[in-house]
Structures are given as structure tokens and as C-alpha cells.
Amino acid sequence: MSDVKTVFGALDNYQKGGVEVIDDDPRNYVFSNVFEVAARSKPYERVAVGKNFEYVIEAVRAEGTSPWYACAHDEFALVMDGRVEVRLLKPETPAVVADKAGAVALGAPPVGRKMGRVVAGRGHMTLLPKGSAYQFHADRASVVTIQTIQGEVTIERWADICQTG
């Protein structure tokens, strides 16, 4: 039996590193921790923790049931801690225009066909296929990161989450 220990983080158990400056400004590294961000977020706030032009990585505290979202392009949800159910639905009529960037929160559950659901644990990546609507559910607080494009649900609070000194 191997005694190797792989260290993953969790909402209530993470050890943050950081920037040790020699001749630099730590802000240049936009350094944060997804568990810390989720620990300080309300359920299903989609907080940008990475940004490269229009593209973002959002950190999400998944807890209880989320709104329904729709997106015109693919997105990918990676569970970093806990267990999250992803419910997928194909709307009868498109829920967003074809060139819309980022996810959109829908006011009401869309009318359409059930596509299925995924129950994802730590380390599992789920496709949120373009043109579908989706909803997250987590019985206990969990952490998800989403590979997507910045949109109207994306929250930016860099000064609050990043190392500044």
C-alpha cells in the first residue's frame, strides 16, 4: 500500500500560497484561491477568478438549487469540492440569441425536453452544451469552477479576492 498523499483543497480545508515579491507588484499575478472565493460568496454567485480578454473562469459556491441558466456556447463545469447535480434541458425555442457571450440566468424554468442529468464529484468535469439550459443542485456547500465567456452573470470583485500586498 502506497503512503503517498495527494493534497486537494476543500471549502473548509485549503492552504493558500501567495506571491513573494522580489521586485514586482503582487497585483500583476491576480492571485486568489477558488475555495476562499467560494467560502466568501453567496450561493451561485459566479465570481471571475481568471480572465483573459473575453474569456473567464468563474468560481461558484454551489449550495441548494441554482437558477436555470442558458448559454449560446459550450461551457465546462469542474467540481473542485463536494457533489453537484447538473440538470440539462433543451429549450423548445432558443433561450439566448446565437451570438450572446456568457451565461444568462433565466427568470423561469424554460419549456423544453429533458436532456438528462449528471451527478459530479470532486475532479469531475461536465459539459454544459451550447444551446441547452442547465441548473445546479448541491445538498451541501460545494465548489465549482466554470470555463466560459464573461457575461451578464459574471461578477468581478478583483480587489476583494486578490493579493494586493
Partner 1 sequence: MATPVVEASEPDNYYGYRRFRKGKFEFQRDEYFVHIRWPKGTHTMAADVFLRALQRDIAWNFFYGTVNFDGVFGTLNHYGTVDIFAGRFNDAYRKAGRDYNETYASDELMATFKAMLDDWTNRGYDPFAAPEETKHPYGRKDGENRRAIERLRVTAKRMVGLPGDTPLRSDAGGYPVNRHFADVPQDRPEIHAEPGFENEVSAFNLFAYLSRSDVTWNPSVCSVVKDSLYCPTSEEFILPVEHGNDRVEWFMQLSDEIIWEIKHKETGAPRARVICRAGDICAMPADIRHQGFSPKRSMLLVWENNSNAIPALIQSGKAPVVPVVF
Q: Which residues bind partner 1 (CB under 8 A)?
A: 2, 4-9, 14-24, 26-36, 49-53, 55, 57, 73-76, 78, 80, 86, 88, 90, 113-127, 129, 132, 145, 147-149, 156, 158-159, 162
Q: Which three cell numbers mark 156?
A: 468581478
Instruction: Tell me the CA distances in angstroms from 137 to 22, 29, 45, 63, 83, one per residue in order.
Output: 44, 32, 14, 7, 9
CA distance 163 to 2: 37
Grid cell at residue 150: 464573461
**Residue 42 CB, nearest approach to partner 1 (Å):** 19
Cβ proximity to partner 1: between 42 and 113 the closer is: 113
Closer of 1 and 108 to partner 1 (Cβ):
1
Residue 121 CB coordination number (10 Å): 11
Between residues 64 and 121, which has the closer beta carbon with respect to partner 1? 121
Q: State the nearest-atom distance from the C-beta of 86 to partner 1, in Å.
A: 8
Residue 107 or 159 having the CB closest to partner 1: 159
End-to-end CA distance of the chain: 43
Q: Give the nearest distance from C-beta 36 to partner 1 in angstroms.
A: 7
